Structure 1
Amino acid sequence: MAAVTKPATRPIAVIGPTATGKSALALDLAEQLGGEIINIDAMQQYRGMDIGTAKLPIGERRGIPHHQIDTLDVTETATVARYKDAATTDVETLLDQGKAPIIVGGSMMYIQSLLDDWQFPATDAEVRAKWEARLAEIGVRALHQELARIDPDAATTILPTDPRRTVRALEVIELTGKPFAASAPTIGEPRWNTLIVGVDRDTTELDARIAQRTEQMFAEGLVDEVRELLGAGLREGVTASRAIGYAQVLAAVDGTHDLAAAAELTTQGTRRYVRRQRSWFKRDHRIHWFDGGAAGLAEDVVRLL
Structure 2
Amino acid sequence: MSDRNVPQGKPAPVIVVVGPTGAGKSDLAISLALEFDGEIVNCDSVQVYRHFYIGTAKVPLSERRGVPHHMLDIVEPGEPFTAGDYARVARRVLRQIRDRGKLSVVVGGTGFYLRALLEGLFSGPSQNQALRARLISREQARPGLLHRFIRRIDPASAKRIHQNDRNKLARAAEVYALSRRPMSELFQSGRDPLLDFHAIKIGLNPPRQALYDRLDRRAEAMVAAGLGEEVQRLLNAGIPQDAKPFESIGYAQTLKLLRGEICPAEALQSLQQDTRRYAKRQWTWFARERDVLWLPGFGNDEAIVNAAMKAVRTALSELEKIHR
With the length of structure 1 as denominator, give the TM-score of the two structures: 0.88
Residue pair 1:121, 1:172 contacting (<8 A) in 2 also: yes
Q: Greater Rg, structure 1 or structure 2?
A: 2
Residue pair 1:74, 1:237 contacting (<8 A) in 2 also: no
Deviation at 1:50, TM superposition (A): 1.1
SS in structure 2 at match of 1:194: strand
Instruction: Provide the residue aligned with 1:304 in structure 2.
Output: 315
Give the 5 Å matches for 1:96-107.
Answer: 96-107=99-110
SS in structure 2 at match of 1:198: strand
Q: Relative to structure 1, is the Cα distance of residues 9 and 159 closer, same or farther in structure 2, using a 3 angstrom cutoff? A: same
Is 2:281 the partner of 1:270?
A: no
Q: Relative to structure 1, is the Cα distance of residues 9 and 184 closer, same or farther in structure 2, using a 3 angstrom cutoff? A: same
Residue pair 1:39, 1:67 contacting (<8 A) in 2 also: yes
Q: Relative to structure 1, is the Cα distance of residues 190 and 76 closer, same or farther in structure 2, using a 3 angstrom cutoff? A: closer
CA distance in 1, matches of 2:124, 2:296: 36
Deviation at 1:172, TM superposition (A): 2.4
Deviation at 1:301, TM superposition (A): 3.1
Instruction: Provide the residue aligned with 2:265 in structure 1.
Output: 260
Instruction: Provide the residue aligned with 1:292 in structure 2.
Output: 297
Deviation at 1:90, TM superposition (A): 0.4
Instruction: Provide the residue aligned with 2:23 in structure 1.
Output: 20
CA distance in 1, matches of 2:29, 2:294: 14
Deviation at 1:268, TM superposition (A): 1.1
Q: For structure 2, which runs of at least 5 residues remain unmatched after alignment?
A: 1-10, 317-324
Residue pair 1:11, 1:195 contacting (<8 A) in 2 also: yes
Instruction: Provide Cα deviations, 1:198-220, integer angstroms capped at 9, x if missing partner.
Output: 11212111111111111111111
CA distance in 2, matches of 1:183, 1:297: 39
How many residue pairs were aligned? 297
Instruction: Provide the residue aligned with 2:5 in structure 1.
Output: none
Which stretch of structure 1 is more off in the superposition, 74-83 or 174-183? 174-183
SS in structure 2 at match of 1:86: helix
SS in structure 2 at match of 1:233: coil
Residue pair 2:42, 2:107 contacting (<8 A) in 1 also: yes
CA distance in 1, matches of 2:311, 2:193: 18
Is 2:196 the partner of 1:213?
A: no
The alignment's C-alpha RMSD in Å is: 2.5
Which stretch of structure 1 is more off in the superposition, 28-37 or 291-300? 291-300
Instruction: Provide the residue aligned with 1:112 in structure 2.
Output: 115
Deviation at 1:176, TM superposition (A): 4.9
Instruction: Provide the residue aligned with 1:72 in structure 2.
Output: 75
With the length of structure 2 as denominator, give the TM-score of the two structures: 0.83
Which stretch of structure 1 is more off in the superposition, 59-68 or 287-296? 287-296
Deviation at 1:155, TM superposition (A): 3.6
SS in structure 2 at match of 1:12: strand
**Identity within the alignment, %:** 35
Is 2:246 the partner of 1:230?
A: no
For 2:142, give the aligned amino acid: I
Deviation at 1:283, TM superposition (A): 1.7
Instruction: Provide Cα deviations, 1:143-194, integer angstroms capped at 9, x if missing partner.
Output: 3344345445434543433322210022224445554333335899864111
SS in structure 1 at match of 2:34: helix
Deviation at 1:43, TM superposition (A): 0.6
Deviation at 1:272, TM superposition (A): 1.5
CA distance in 2, matches of 1:179, 1:201: 36
Alignment partner of 2:248 out of 229, 243, 246: 243
Residue pair 1:46, 1:72 contacting (<8 A) in 2 also: yes
Is 2:138 the partner of 1:134?
A: yes
For 2:135, give the aligned amino acid: W
For 2:247, give the aligned amino acid: R
Q: Relative to structure 1, is the Cα distance of residues 17 and 60 closer, same or farther in structure 2, using a 3 angstrom cutoff? A: same
Q: Relative to structure 1, is the Cα distance of residues 48 and 118 closer, same or farther in structure 2, using a 3 angstrom cutoff? A: same
For 1:55, give the aligned amino acid: K
Deviation at 1:86, TM superposition (A): 0.9
Deviation at 1:142, TM superposition (A): 3.8
Q: For structure 1, which runs of at least 5 residues remain unmatched after alignment?
A: 1-7
Residue pair 1:157, 1:276 contacting (<8 A) in 2 also: no
Is 2:65 the partner of 1:55?
A: no
CA distance in 2, matches of 1:245, 1:236: 13
Which stretch of structure 1 is more off in the superposition, 141-150 or 245-254? 141-150
